[in-house]
A and B are shown apart, each in its own frame.
Chain A
Amino acid sequence: MAPQPNHLSYPSFITSFIKIGFQAFGGSATTASLMEQFIGDRLSKQQIHAAYAYALILPGASQVAIVSNVGYRLKGRWGALVATICYLLPSLSLITAFAVVYFGFTGGTHTTTHLSGVLAALAGIMLSNSQRVGKSNATSSWMWVPVLCAFVASFLLHINATLILLCSGTAAMSLYLLAKRPHIWR
Chain B
Amino acid sequence: MEMIATLVHFFLTMLYISLIAFGGSAQPLFEQFTVLQNHWLSQTDFAAVLAFGYSTPGPAVFGTAAFIGYRLAGLPGAVVGSVGIFTVPLLASLITAKYLTTILEKPSAKAFIRGVGLAASGLLAATALHIAGPNWLHPANFAIMLLAYILLTRKLSNPLLLLVGGGLVTTIFGI
The interface-forming segment of A8-16, A41-49, A166-174 is A166-174
Bound: A182/B82 CA distance, A: 38
How far is it, in angstroms, between the C-alpha of A79 and the C-alpha of B61 when the chains are bound? 23
* Docked CA distance A80–B162 (Å): 33
Whether a CB of chain B sits under 8 angstroms from the CB of A177 is yes
When distances are taken between beta carbons in the complex, the residues of chain A under 8 Å from B25 are: 161, 165
CB-CB nearest in chain B for A84: B90
Name B1-17 residues within 8 Å CB distance of A. none
Whether B57 pairs with A91 at a CB distance below 8 angstroms is: yes
A173 and B115 form a contact (CB under 8 A): yes
Check A95/B56 contact, CB under 8 A, given A61-B61, A126-B50, A165-B119: yes
Q: Interface size (A, Cβ < 8 Å)?
A: 95
Query: How far is it, in angstroms, between the C-alpha of A122 and the C-alpha of B162 when the chains are bound?
Result: 8
Chain A residues whose C-beta falls within 8 Å of the C-beta of B163 in the assembled complex = 118, 121-122, 125
Instruction: Decide: A124 near B61, CB < 8 A? Known: A134-B121, A169-B113.
Output: no
Contact check, B101 vs A54: say whether CB atoms are below 8 A apart.
yes
A68 to B18, CA, bound (A): 15
Instruction: Please report B residues at the A interface, Cβ cutoff 8 Å.
Output: 18-29, 31-32, 42, 44-45, 47-48, 50-59, 61-63, 66-67, 70-71, 75, 78-79, 82, 85-86, 88-90, 92-94, 97, 100-101, 104-105, 107-133, 135-136, 138, 140-142, 144-153, 158-160, 162-163, 165-171, 175
